[in-house]
Amino acid sequence: MTSHKTETTRIEGDTPAQRLLALLEVIADKDHFFTLQSLVEETGMPKPTLHRMLQQLEGSGMLQREADSRHYGKGSRLRRLAENLLLNDTVHGARHAVLRQLVDEVGESCNITALSGSEVLYLDRVETSEALRFYLHPGSRVPVHCSASGKLFLAQMSPAQRRRLLGEVPLKAFTKNTLTDMDQLEQEIDEVRQQGYAFDDEEFLSGLLCIAVLANNPQGGKSNIGIAIQAPIMRLTRDKALECLPALQRAADAIAAIDSDAMLTQHHTASSV
Amino acid sequence: MTSHKTETTRIEGDTPAQRLLALLEVIADKDHFFTLQSLVEETGMPKPTLHRMLQQLEGSGMLQREADSRHYGKGSRLRRLAENLLLNDTVHGARHAVLRQLVDEVGESCNITALSGSEVLYLDRVETSEALRFYLHPGSRVPVHCSASGKLFLAQMSPAQRRRLLGEVPLKAFTKNTLTDMDQLEQEIDEVRQQGYAFDDEEFLSGLLCIAVLANNPQGGKSNIGIAIQAPIMRLTRDKALECLPALQRAADAIAAIDSDAMLTQHHTASSV
DNA sequence: AGTCAGGTTTCGTTATGCGGAACTTTTCGT
DNA sequence: ACGAAAAGTTCCGCATAACGAAACCTGACT
């Protein structure tokens, strides 16, 4: 079926609130005033539904109507919200800075990862300036069993935890090097635990070598965030990767320090003595 | 007043969606990770309710949980939303007019900036008509420690926040004038805080002098909008820049006025017949 | 003074939000 | 190592808000 409509963006979400946030994203992209009708055409949503959403946003000061009462613009409260979001996001800022510094140092793309559910989530990433590079987005996800950070996360778990997590997802083969046998994987994980670092040697993408360590803060429990260097094997061999380990570990320590710092500050609202 | 409770913020709103946005505002103010429990204490809302809200925000990528699954932080989607909101702001038009007026007045390129992560983001820029000019794009980013606006943003932060942003990363030198020593920088920031304006004296690009002030919002609180004049040192010395200060401050006030102006218009929803 | 293109209201239906209570997991003190 | 306290999570009956087709306004242009 070939649609003859010109919808550019679709409002999606499982709940009304999520749909409203999606609408905000559509609005955020606009550099001009917009009308109800323009949103109807752009998103394909029913008019009364959008009307109600805009009413809510206007009622709470997030949007503001022009004098003609048909053109909407961003309200001061929304602006303030956006400003505060960026202004106070110092944790991300600091992490990103560390990451950038590491990329400068080793000359290859690096990223910060976390375990999210049964997958590894790319929290942030800084690309190398080299022309040849793997382009991967922050926010994307990768299976645990074929990523360097994933193996580190697994290595930290109790056998029971690990088995439960791996039981959910079959060990899918992505390349010839992917470890698909549970015993092999357990053995690799043992090694990883002893070494304190992990490789991903073309186990997820052919031609991509990756080395990772954890940003573990010792006293604050197990805030396990991973940090990794990724590069084409043409530029990064295992040996070369090992040479980068000290720099990588230094970055990991820096990130651990940021995180434990940010975790402690929770009582600024507490009453005066 | 002797309140025995420690609630700082109330989540209010007639509809669930509005309450969710109010929650986002609470979250936007946080410069550290937070937990479900901390929000319960801060807002006084029932735990399951907040839990459900956080679930929705996490599910749509607006928030991200740390690996320990109890600390929440801002997600990449939320950051992107905030950046787009500021970049494409409809008062962009009004601000742009102020900027243009300022450029007319002082005869040099000017720009409006905001802090985003650990960098200064150019929201808007108007070029001088002079032939010799530095060409910089709106949307581009510059390190905080070597930009005039950046120093102003740093000057209004708490020491802890500032340390988080700067402490972990060596201050990269871009020119001979770049402040790469932390003590020097702290001293400079002290000065900036007292003066209310900041210079960038060839600290980022050789030959470029820059003077900036903040567009303070009247009802107090921190500001995330800066405005600056940039010119080649051949045309703009520190002395000449100081002569432009009144005009710059006037422009900053005008921009602050635009923001708070919109704030008054919030009650024409219930006036039907 | 009619037509038309937006914007707004209505209303029965359905989905979502709500939050006390119970349950599970983690953390902490001994 | 163990049990208690605290934090996180799930349950579920009730209440409320969202939904969107259709009908209804309202101004603008002819």
Instruction: Please indicate if any CB of chain A lies within 8 Å of the CB of B116.
Output: yes
**Which pLDDT tens digit goes with each residue over B189-219?**
999 999 999 999 999 999 999 999 998 765 5
Chain A residues whose CB is inside 8 A of the B73 CB are 91-92
Place of tokens 């560390």: A98
Q: Cα(A31)–Cα(B82) distance, rounded to whole angstroms?
A: 14
* Same domain, yes or no: B109 and B147: yes
Handedness of CA A203, A208, A209, A214 (dihedral sign): negative
**Confidence class of residue A11 from pLDDT cuts 50, 70 and 90?**
confident
Q: Last residue of some domain: B80, B102, B118? A: B80
- Res A217 pLDDT > 70: no
Buried b (16+ CB within 10 A) or exposed e, B200-235: bbbbbbeebbbbbbbbbbeeeebbbbbbbbbbbeee
Instruction: Please indicate if any CB of chain A lies within 8 Å of the CB of B180.
Output: no
Chain B residues whose CB is inside 8 A of the A257 CB are 168
Q: Which of the 8 DSSP states describes residue A239?
A: H
Taking residues A198-222, what's their average pLDDT? 83
Extract the tokens encoding A149: 């950070």
Closest CA to the C1' of D17: that residue is: B15
- Res B272 pLDDT > 60: no
Q: Which of the 8 DSSP states describes residue A144?
A: G
Give the pLDDT of residue B268.
33
Asked if residue B49 keeps its beta carbon closer than 7 A to nucleic acid strand C, the reply is yes
In a domain, A118, yes or no: yes
Give the pLDDT of residue A231.
93
Largest CA distance in chain B: 67
Q: Provide residues 145-174 of B with CB closer than 7 Å to any strand D atom.
A: none
Give the pLDDT of residue A67.
62
Among B94, B123, B78, B224, CA closest to A24: B78
In a domain, B105, yes or no: yes
Q: In what order do the strands lie in the sheet with B226-232?
A: B141-143, B119-126, B109-116, B226-232, B208-214, B197-201
Phi, psi of A210 (to 5 degrees): -145, 140
Q: Cα(B238)–Cα(B169) distance, rounded to whole angstroms?
A: 29
Give the pLDDT of residue B209.
95
Region of residue B188 (left: phi > 0; alpha: psi -120 to 50; beta: else) = alpha
Mutate to test the interface with B, among A25, A87, A260, A273 (most CBs of B within 10 A): A87
SS (H, E, C) chain B: CCCCCCCCCCCCCCCHHHHHHHHHHHHHCCCCCECHHHHHHHHCCCHHHHHHHHHHHHHCCCEEECCCCCCEEECHHHHHHHHHHHHCCCCHHHHHHHHHHHHHHHCCEEEEEEEECCEEEEEEEECCCCCCCCCCCCCCEEEHHHCHHHHHHHHCCCHHHHHHHHCCCCCCCCCCCCCCCHHHHHHHHHHHHHHCEEEEECCCCCCEEEEEEECCCCCCCCCCCEEEEEEECCCCCHHHHHHHHHHHHHHHHHHHHHHHHHHCCCCCCCCCC
Among A6, A65, A76, CA closest to A38: A6
Handedness of CA A18, A20, A23, A28 (dihedral sign): negative
Taking residues A226-252, what's their average pLDDT? 94
* Same domain, yes or no: B153 and B223: yes
Residue B262 CB partners (closer than 8 Å, separation 6+)? A64, A75, A76, A79, B91
* Same domain, yes or no: A41 and A153: no
CATH of the domain at A57: 1.10.10.10
**Confidence class of residue B87 from pLDDT cuts 50, 70 and 90?**
confident
> Is the Cβ–Cβ distance between A216 and A235 less than 8 Å?
no
**Which pLDDT tens digit goes with each residue over A124-169?**
899 888 878 888 888 788 888 999 999 998 888 777 778 777 877 7
Chain B residues whose CB is inside 8 A of the A58 CB are 269
* Same domain, yes or no: B51 and B139: no
Instruction: Please indicate if any CB of chain B lies within 8 Å of the CB of A16.
Output: yes
State chain B's mean pLDDT as an integer. 83
Overall number of domains in chain A: 2
* Same domain, yes or no: A23 and A97: no
In a domain, B271, yes or no: no
Residue B160 CA to nucleotide C8 C1', Å?
A: 51
Give the pLDDT of residue A164.
73
Instruction: Please indicate if any CB of chain A lies within 8 Å of the CB of B224.
Output: yes
In a domain, A146, yes or no: yes
Give the pLDDT of residue A271.
32
Q: Last residue of some domain: A40, A68, A86? A: A86
Residue A222 CA to nucleotide D25 C1', Å?
A: 62
Q: Is A256 in a helix, a strand, or coil?
A: helix
Asked if residue A70 keeps its beta carbon closer than 7 A to nucleic acid strand C, the reply is yes
- Res B270 pLDDT > 70: no
Place of tokens 């109800």: A36
Mutate to test the interface with B, among A49, A85, A216, A260 (most CBs of B within 10 A): A85
* Same domain, yes or no: A30 and A109: no
In a domain, B269, yes or no: no
* Same domain, yes or no: B51 and B121: no
Q: Is A27 in a helix, a strand, or coil?
A: helix
**Which pLDDT tens digit goes with each residue over B26-71?**
999 888 889 999 999 898 889 999 999 999 999 888 998 876 778 8
In a domain, A270, yes or no: no
Burial class (CB in 10 A: 0-12, 13-18, 19+), A3: exposed
Of A240-249, B38-47, B67-76, the poorest mean pLDDT is in B67-76
Place of tokens 């991903």: A200
State pTM to two decimals.
0.77
CATH of the domain at B199: 3.30.450.40
Asked if residue A170 keeps its beta carbon closer than 7 A to nucleic acid strand D, the reply is no
Strand-pair partners of B109: B230
B219–chain A nearest CA distance, Å: 12
Q: Last residue of some domain: B35, B57, B80? A: B80
Place of tokens 């360590």: A213
Percent of chain A past pLDDT 90, that is, above it, reads: 40
**Confidence class of residue B260 from pLDDT cuts 50, 70 and 90?**
low
Instruction: Please indicate if any CB of chain A lies within 8 Å of the CB of B26.
Output: no
Taking residues B15-33, what's their average pLDDT? 90
CB atoms within 10 A of CB A242: 13
* Same domain, yes or no: B110 and B197: yes
Chain B residues whose CB is inside 8 A of the A80 CB are 217, 259
Distance of CA B197 to the CA centre of its chain: 15
Give the pLDDT of residue B220.
60
More confident of the two residues B107 and A271? B107
Which of A18, A25, A76 is opposite residue B259, by nearest beta carbon?
A: A76
- Res B153 pLDDT > 80: yes
* Same domain, yes or no: A245 and A124: yes
The whole domain housing B28 covers 16-80
* Same domain, yes or no: A52 and A31: yes
Asked if residue A40 keeps its beta carbon closer than 7 A to nucleic acid strand C, the reply is yes
Considering only alpha carbons, which residue of chain B is nearest residue A55? B269
Q: Cα(A175)–Cα(A73) distance, rounded to whole angstroms?
A: 50
- Res A187 pLDDT > 90: yes
State chain A's mean pLDDT as an integer. 83
In a domain, B1, yes or no: no
A186–chain B nearest CA distance, Å: 22
More confident of the two residues B20 and B5? B20
* Same domain, yes or no: B136 and B241: yes
In a domain, A162, yes or no: yes
Q: Of all helices (H) and strands (E), which one includes residue A73?
A: strand A71-74
* Same domain, yes or no: A145 and A226: yes
Give the pLDDT of residue B8.
62
Q: Cα(B259)–Cα(B220) distance, rounded to whole angstroms?
A: 13
